[in-house]
Structure 1
Amino acid sequence: MNAIFSLVINLLFISVAICQINKEIVFDEASFNFGEIKESEGSVEHEFMFTNLSNHVIKILAVEASCGCTSTGWTRQEVGPGEKGFVKAMYNPVNRPGSFNKSLTVTISSVQNTIVLRIQGKVIPKIKTIEEQLPVLVGEIRFRNKSFNLDKILTNESQTREFIVYNNSKDQPITFQSEYEAPDYIKLEFQPETLNPKEQGLVKIKFDGKARNDLGFLVDNVVFFTSEKEDNRKEFQVYTIVEEYFPTMTAEELANAPKLKFEKNLIDFGRVDNSEKISIELAIINEGKSDLYIRKIKSTCSCTTTNPNKEVLKPGESGSLNITFDPRGRTGSQQKLITIFSNDPRASAQRLTVKAFVKK
């Protein structure tokens, strides 16, 4: 027992000694806990005070916060021997409910290592009004957004997403009509069908990824109707990212799968005139052991078009992808993305970046 106690004491002295080596600046505290703070009361701040223990002046060169939610301040002038300075942390709790733990990395002249300070706390969220929760008002129905974002859906599945709606009327019940306008692969359901004044309900959207028969970021339109005398027609866009489904594969199956490889992922045309189109042939190869199928190619701009010379590549086979950029009507820096969808299970959606600077 005495041996263990002695070891602990020795380790403590060693730790203290190490902390004091080349210690030119000492903070009164290395962390601060705000405790519980209310989102509704806005930003909170704390100053970490320090003392210059060296025999020469020092200066804080930078304070970098680990999050954009935290802004910083510090003593800008030089701090002489024995003098004090500060580092200030200001935390903004808006839209950040729950616990937080953020760091401030302090860089000081003549001090080799940076110093890390921490702020902690817990944000008590503001109780939002219905207008804040559902800011989009169409007629007398409130919605959270101007569109319905279904997020990711696989090609082998149907998924249903729910979206909150609210009858903003003071005294009129509102009924959702059973008929609506939507593609066959989108179904709408309203629960309940009739919303009483100040009552909340749901719009349920069922999306069939297989029936959509497309890949990537997709936009569809839906229109539904209510019993309102005015603004009874509600038109919204439905956003979806459809990705190809691949069953779980063993290491051996992955080793035998197709593998898409590009000559390069960045195509930089440099400075170009705005008078005519420019093109490049990009080499593509199947580095896998099964046939590679190019499913689809999409660009973020109609000014960038593509044309593969082959849509099926045998194992080890190469092909080319013609990429054409049309700068007409454009000036300055341009950056476009091309997404290639294939049956490569490791990366079924791969992106190329096309850059150019269009001269006036």
Structure 2
Amino acid sequence: MNKKTIITLIVCALAATGVAAQEERPELVFEPAVWDFGSVREADGPVRHTFTGVNRGDRPLVILDVTTTCGCTVPRFSKRPVLPGDRTEITVSYDPTNRPGAFDKELWIYSSDRKRIATLTIRGEVVPRAKSVEELYPVDAGGGLRLNTTLCAFTYIYPGVRMQSSVGYVNTSDRTVSLELRPDPAIRSGLLRIDAPERIAPGARGAINISYLVPADTPRYGTLRDALELFVDGRSRGTTIVVHGIGADNPSDIPEEKAPRSEVSTNVVKFGPVKHGGPRPSQSLTLSNTGRGDLIVRAVECGEGLSTPLEPGLAVPPGGSARIEVRLDPSADGYGARSSFLLLVTNDPLRPMRRIRATAVIEE
């Protein structure tokens, strides 16, 4: 076989391979593949658009699935084979309920050989509907007074930095009501400040302003929690505003070159089956410092039935570690599955709080 013949055979083989590769790649083309709904009124409910695609490949294809990352977007399509040159439709529905503002959603189309063969996009802007007073202020505090929430959850509270939040209110009655907030003496940090009106006119809306301020010279670490019971016209319906946060060091006060880093060996301590009247079992975990400065334990808190000899003030040098013993009192509660926690607050500026779960099954 001469050289010219060999070259001819190679060229033919490559051409055949190229044809086969093209035959293995069916094409489903949508024009357009993007649909802009424009302004969508939330009050009008779901909107729909039908995309039309053409099989421009050389063999039939079957749409196996159309996926999206949001349950608000629902596609409808046929799994019947689409012959070369034929058309198929995919109808996409978008539900704007409780989704105000702009949206931009992609849908991925997969063939029966599990390859993504096309992408569709829908977009638009949801115009929110007018919400009722009951939706905006779902908490009925009695006497016509309604609140938008009963929880003020701060993240971290730093010494010398005032942290502020608020609870919105509206008086839906046709008369002026009086408002009193009574702190629960059993759940009181002594650091909470409240700014609230004593009297609220009919139809008036406003906010109960709530703030924490930890003195810079006397830091408080760990959980800060307060509870305020509402009395409207001298009567209570049991509505209580709960405020809480975690006292920690201000990360801006810790230079990066001296910052510690905390790591724990486990996030769940498992005691397994434990006899209710038996001895108190113990487990241990390791607290490590992978940073550049001393890691200092600022606060230690235990949930019901759990204890530890670890105390605030423990310092772990860079590269060092400390063993923490955790003890369980099986008689502290009833029988069955039990879950508690160990909370550690350190001077780690990136992750001051570590919450470790503790589980057990209490048996007779």
TM-score bracket, shorter-length normalisation: 0.7 to 0.9
Residue in 2 aligned with 1:4? none
* Alignment correspondent of 2:158: 155
The answer as to whether partners of 1:72 and 1:88 remain within 8 angstroms in 2 is: yes
Q: Structure 2-normalised TM-score?
A: 0.75
Q: Note the 1:181-330 alignment, pairs <5 A.
A: 181=183, 183=188, 184-191=190-197, 193-210=198-215, 213-216=220-223, 218-227=224-233, 231-232=235-236, 235-248=239-252, 253-262=255-264, 264-267=265-268, 269=270, 272-273=272-273, 275=275, 279-298=282-301, 302=304, 305-308=307-310, 311-324=314-327, 329-330=335-336
Q: Secondary structure at the match of 1:273?
A: strand
- CA distance in 2 between counterparts of 1:72 and 1:356 reads 45
Bigger shift: 344-353 or 306-315?
A: 306-315
| Alpha-carbon distance in 2 for matches of 1:46, 1:284 | 56
Q: Which residue of 2 aligns with 1:33?
A: 36
User: How far is the alpha carbon of 1:28 from its aligned partner?
Assistant: 2.8
Q: Helix, strand or coil for the counterpart of 1:131?
A: helix
Once residues 335 and 85 of structure 1 are traced to their aligned partners in structure 2, the CA distance between those partners, rounded to angstroms, is 54
Once the two structures are superposed, residues 167-193 of structure 1 have per-residue CA deviations (whole angstroms, 9 ceiling, x without a partner) of 1213x211234x7435432222224x3
- Partner SS state of residue 248, structure 1: helix
Shift of the alpha carbon at 1:124?
Answer: 0.7
Residue 231 of structure 2 aligns with an amino acid whose one-letter code is: F
Is the CA contact 2:64–2:114 (under 8 Å) kept in the aligned structure 1? no
Q: Structure 1 regions of 5+ residues with no counterpart?
A: 1-20
Give the letter aligned to residue 181 of structure 1: P
CA contact (8 A) 1:160 1:204 kept: yes
How far 1:39 sits from its partner (Å)?
0.6
- Aligned-partner Cα distance in 1 for 2:94–2:340: 36
In 1, Cα distance between equivalents of 2:298 and 2:42:
48
1:167–1:111 CA distance, 2 compared to 1 (3 A): closer
- Per the alignment, residue 11 of structure 1 pairs with none
Change (3 A) 1:344 1:128: same
Question: 1:236/1:266 Cα in 2 relative to 1: closer, same or farther (>3 Å)?
Answer: closer
Cα drift, residue 104 of structure 1: 1.0
Q: Does 1:138 align with 2:144?
A: no
CA contact (8 A) 1:265 1:351 kept: no
Give the structure 1 partner of residue 45 of structure 2.
42
Read off the aligned partner of 1:342 and give its amino acid letter: T
Change (3 A) 1:117 1:352: farther
Report the structure number with the largest CA radius of gyration: 2
Question: Residue 340 of structure 1 contacts residue 350 of structure 1 at CA under 8 Å; is this kept in 2?
Answer: yes
1:340 equivalent among 323, 327, 344: 344
Listed one character per residue, the Cα deviations across residues 283-315 of structure 1 (whole Å, up to 9, x for unaligned) are 33333443321122446x536554548822234
Task: Summarize the Cα distance change of 1:150–1:286 in structure 2 as closer, same or farther, 3 Å threshold.
Answer: closer
Alpha-carbon distance in 2 for matches of 1:242, 1:339: 11
Distance 2:49 2:80 in 1: 19
Is 1:185–1:212's contact at 8 Å kept on the other side of the alignment?
Answer: no
Query: In angstroms, what is the RMSD of aligned CA positions?
Result: 3.5
Q: Which moved more, 1:75-84 or 1:159-168?
A: 75-84
Contact 2:101 2:127 in 1 (8 A): yes
Q: Contact 2:228–2:240 at 8 Å: present in 1 too? A: yes
Alpha-carbon distance between aligned partners in 2 of 1:285 and 1:96, rounded to the nearest angstrom: 43
Structure 1 residues 274 and 75, CA, compared in 2 at 3 Å: closer, same or farther? farther
SS in 2 for 1:40: helix
Q: Whole-Å Cα distance in 2 between the matches of residues 267 and 329 of structure 1?
A: 20
- Structure 1 residues 185-232: Cα deviation after superposition (integer angstroms, max 9, x where no partner): 2222224x322222223212222245893425x54211243336xx35
Q: Any stretches of 5+ residues in structure 2 without a counterpart?
A: 1-23
Distance 1:52 1:169 in 2: 64
Q: Distance in 2 between matches of 1:353 and 1:71?
A: 38
Give the drift of 1:342: 0.7
Q: C-alpha separation between the residues in 1 aligned to 2:57 and 2:294?
A: 69
**Aligned equivalents of 2:309 and 2:83: distance in 1?**
67
What is the CA distance between 1:92 and its match in structure 2?
Answer: 1.5
Aligned to 1:350: 354
